[in-house]
């Protein structure tokens, strides 16, 4: 029989308590000046409890990355060779974003900390590298046998990570204000336009991108550039038809 | 007056001697087991000489990166807003490649070492990150005021680094056999095709890429995909003319 007083319901799990204690001490005394002893003392647990959750002090700074990396790897592995692979890695990147946006205050706090401590910056680069490799390995599998398969895989994975981080860092620098999801969607859309397969171009040409947007009045600007992708064996009339539509002359 | 016996001509500079001694010890006893004292003892110099050249033991593993990074930054800064910026960062990447290829044996030896020692892997990621940031900063300057300027800059810099490293690592894994310059050129050409501006598309459309190459007989394959870039205000007849040529129906 469990007594209702035996387990204080409001108490966060020990792991969360350690993270909270650590970040409070990092912000008050600095990362370097804070020891694991200080952290366990504030959290009211023993040293062994700390090391059960975190191999070293720096790991408490990135408490959710291992879980997120495992989740992303599983998500990519669950893809049964269906679907557009570039879209898939973009969706994988959105899983990382979710980890940041589900706790904006903590994410901003950590961002400030990693800017200040070179050792943490290096740890973060290692974490980012592992995300990028997970994506690249998935793409290498999907592009196996294609010309330049590993090259494309590595470049696309790097592009997805760079686009994600460009939008994420803007959001973190603005103290978590604004819509991070929309910003990352916009950045990933750019990568998908550059690298994603156009929707099966079997019947004819597909307009996949424009270099610049219409001006304020919505009129096409003279320097607007169209990018048209077409199969070589598409009927010429279909290509011209698509072009006329794209050029607003149809 | 200089005596010909006073300066032994064949003796390498002290810095090179330290690097050579360090790598000999790393390969014989392992990186972790080798101390700075061991290195200076083998090189026949004092500890202070070591620290005059290298802030810490790990820096002796990457002795030329600071010089290379400074050279690349200067090369990018010397660009007077002329020339195609994507080509420029590809050329900057070739400067890094040159550092590796001018001493293949050392580069292969270091590659094997960084695979084995996680701390060195982290240092290498930091070095790579600094190259990538130098390229991104240059591109951000060139794309200033353009829509998504920083996004494009970051994605292209990441792509250039990923393409360069894809080819470089293949070469290092093959123990420095094969033509690294040709492999990196091929990889960077892929990035330039994806992101480089087509040669000023003022007069008409430009065929910028094909998704797959002709088959062995040189005939276009039915799944060959054409990518055509054109200004929106290009005369339709010019676009069709270019298309007919591209589709081999002109």
What ipTM, to 2 d.p.? 0.75
Range of the domain at B31: 14-59
Distance CA B167, CA B95 (A): 14
Q: Tell me the CA distances in angstroms from B140 to B76, B86, B146, B154, B157, one per residue in order.
A: 12, 11, 9, 8, 10
Distance CA A144, CA A81 (A): 11
- B166 at the A interface (CB within 8 A)? yes
Distance CA A138, CA A88 (A): 9
pLDDT value, residue A214: 40
- B225 at the A interface (CB within 8 A)? yes
pLDDT value, residue A85: 94
pLDDT at B65 over 50: yes
CA dihedral sign of residues A18, A21, A26, A32: negative
pLDDT value, residue A81: 75
Residue B183: CATH number of its domain: 1.10.357.10
pLDDT at A126 over 50: yes
Calculate the average pLDDT of chain B.
82
Please give the average per-residue pLDDT across B58-81, as a whole number: 91
Q: Where are the alpha helices (DSSP H) in B64-212?
A: 65-77, 85-101, 104-116, 118-142, 149-173, 180-195
Distance CA B47, CA B41 (A): 9
Determine which of A132, A151, A234 to mutate to test the interface with B (most B C-beta atoms within 10 Å): A151
Q: Å from A184 to nearest chain B CA?
A: 10
Strands B225-231 and A225-231: antiparallel
Token couple for A45: 């647990």
Shared domain for B153 and B185, answered yes or no, is: yes
Shared domain for B40 and B97, answered yes or no, is: no
What is the pLDDT confidence band of residue A220, given thresholds at 50, 70 and 90?
very low
Shared domain for A224 and A177, answered yes or no, is: no
Please give the average per-residue pLDDT across A4-16, as a whole number: 61
Q: Nearest residue of B to residue A147 by CA position? A: B212
Could you tell me if residue A9 is inside a domain?
A: no
Could you tell me if residue B149 is inside a domain?
A: yes
Of B39, B59, B79, which residue sits at a domain end?
B59
pLDDT at A154 over 80: yes
- A184 at the B interface (CB within 8 A)? no
Strand order across the B206-210 sheet: A206-210, A225-231, B225-231, B206-210
pLDDT value, residue A228: 60
pLDDT at A117 over 70: yes
- A212 at the B interface (CB within 8 A)? yes
The proportion of chain A whose per-residue pLDDT surpasses 90, expressed as a percent, equals 67
Least confidently predicted of A33-37, A138-142, B192-196? B192-196
Could you tell me if residue B110 is inside a domain?
A: yes
More confident residue, B242 or B248: B242
Please give the average per-residue pLDDT across B120-145, as a whole number: 94
pLDDT value, residue B212: 43
Could you tell me if residue A200 is inside a domain?
A: no
Please give the average per-residue pLDDT across A135-158, as a whole number: 96
What is the pLDDT confidence band of residue A83, given thresholds at 50, 70 and 90?
confident
Q: Å from B230 to nearest chain A CA?
A: 5
Shared domain for A105 and A157, answered yes or no, is: yes
Cβ separation B247–A236 shorter than 8 A: yes
Number of domains, chain A? 3
Contacts of B143 (CB under 8 A, 6+ apart): B85, B149, B150, B152, B153
Residue among A199, A85, A68, A183 at smallest CA distance from A142: A85
Q: Cβ of B231: how many Cβ atoms within 10 Å?
A: 23
Shared domain for B91 and B40, answered yes or no, is: no
Shared domain for A220 and A169, answered yes or no, is: no
Token couple for A55: 């191999």
Distance CA A109, CA A125 (A): 17
Distance CA B209, CA B198 (A): 10
Of A6, A24, A59, which residue sits at a domain end?
A59
Shared domain for B100 and B173, answered yes or no, is: yes
pLDDT value, residue A235: 60
Least confidently predicted of A15-29, B182-196, B220-234? B220-234
What is the pLDDT confidence band of residue B83, given thresholds at 50, 70 and 90?
confident
Shared domain for B54 and B70, answered yes or no, is: no
3-class DSSP string for chain A: CCCCCCCCCCCCCHHHHHHHHHHHHHHHHCCCCCCHHHHHHHHCCCHHHHHHHCCCHHHHHCCCHHHHHHHHHHHHHCCCCCCCHHHHHHHHHHHHHHHHHCCHHHHHHHHHHHHHCHHHHHHHHHHHHHHHHHHHHHHHHHCCCCCCHHHHHHHHHHHHHHHHHHHHHHHHHCCCCCCHHHHHHHHHHHHHHHHCCCCCCCCCCEEEEECCCCCCCCCCCCCCEEEEEEECCCCHHHHHHHHHHHCCCC
What is the pLDDT confidence band of residue A196, given thresholds at 50, 70 and 90?
confident
Could you tell me if residue B48 is inside a domain?
A: yes
Least confidently predicted of A137-151, B20-34, B202-216? B202-216
Shared domain for A50 and A99, answered yes or no, is: no
Shared domain for B230 and B185, answered yes or no, is: no
pLDDT value, residue A82: 76
pLDDT value, residue A212: 43
Could you tell me if residue B8 is inside a domain?
A: no
Residue B24: CATH number of its domain: 1.10.10.60
More confident residue, B208 or B80: B80
pLDDT value, residue A118: 87
Of B195, B215, B232, which residue sits at a domain end?
B195
Name the residue facing A162 among B125, B126, B158 (closest C-beta). Answer: B158
**Could you report the per-residue pLDDT of B49-61, keeping only the tens digit for each?**
999 999 999 999 9
Distance CA A191, CA B144 (A): 19
Cβ separation A166–B154 shorter than 8 A: yes
**Could you report the per-residue pLDDT of B166-224, keeping only the tens digit for each?**
999 999 999 999 999 999 999 999 999 999 876 433 233 444 444 444 444 444 444 45
pLDDT at B42 over 90: yes
Q: Å from B4 to nearest chain A CA?
A: 48
More confident residue, B137 or A217: B137
Least confidently predicted of A50-59, A65-74, A202-211? A202-211
Shared domain for B19 and B125, answered yes or no, is: no
Residue A231, Cβ density class (10 Å: 0-12 exposed, 13-18 middle, ≥19 buried): buried
Q: Are B152 and B136 in contact (CB under 8 A)?
A: no
pLDDT value, residue B81: 75
Shared domain for B132 and B52, answered yes or no, is: no
Please give the average per-residue pLDDT across A3-29, as a whole number: 76
Q: Enter the pTM of the model.
A: 0.75
Q: Are B50 and B18 in contact (CB under 8 A)?
A: yes
Provide, as residue numbers in chain A, all residues whose Cβ is less than 8 Å from the Cβ of B235.
none
Please give the average per-residue pLDDT across A221-235, as a whole number: 56
End-to-end alpha-carbon separation of chain B, Å?
Answer: 78
């Amino acid at each position: 029989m469990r007594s209702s007083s035996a387990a204080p319901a409001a108490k966060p799990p020990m792991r969360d308590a350690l993270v909270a204690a650590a970040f409070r001490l990092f912000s008050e005394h600095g990362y370097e000046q804070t020891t694991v002893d200080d952290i366990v003392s504030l959290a009211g647990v023993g040293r062994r409890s700390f090391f059960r959750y975190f191999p070293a002090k720096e790991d408490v700074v990135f408490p959710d990355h291992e879980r997120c990396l495992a989740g992303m790897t599983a998500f990519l592995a669950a893809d049964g060779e269906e679907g557009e692979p570039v879209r898939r890695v973009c969706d994988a990147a959105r899983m990382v974003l979710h980890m940041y946006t589900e706790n904006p205050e903590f994410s901003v706090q950590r961002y400030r900390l990693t800017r200040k401590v070179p050792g943490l910056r290096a740890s973060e680069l290692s974490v980012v590298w592992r995300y990028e490799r997970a994506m690249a390995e998935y793409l290498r599998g999907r592009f196996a046998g294609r010309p330049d398969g590993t090259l494309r895989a590595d470049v696309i994975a790097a592009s997805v990570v760079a686009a994600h981080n460009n939008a994420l860092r803007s959001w973190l620098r603005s103290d978590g204000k604004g819509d991070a999801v929309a910003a990352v969607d916009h950045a990933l859309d750019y990568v998908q336009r550059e690298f994603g397969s156009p929707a099966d171009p079997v019947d004819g040409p597909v307009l996949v991108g424009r270099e610049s947007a219409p001006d304020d009045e919505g009129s096409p600007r003279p320097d607007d550039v169209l990018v048209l992708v077409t199969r070589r064996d598409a009927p010429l009339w279909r290509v011209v038809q698509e072009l006329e539509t794209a050029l607003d002359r149809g």
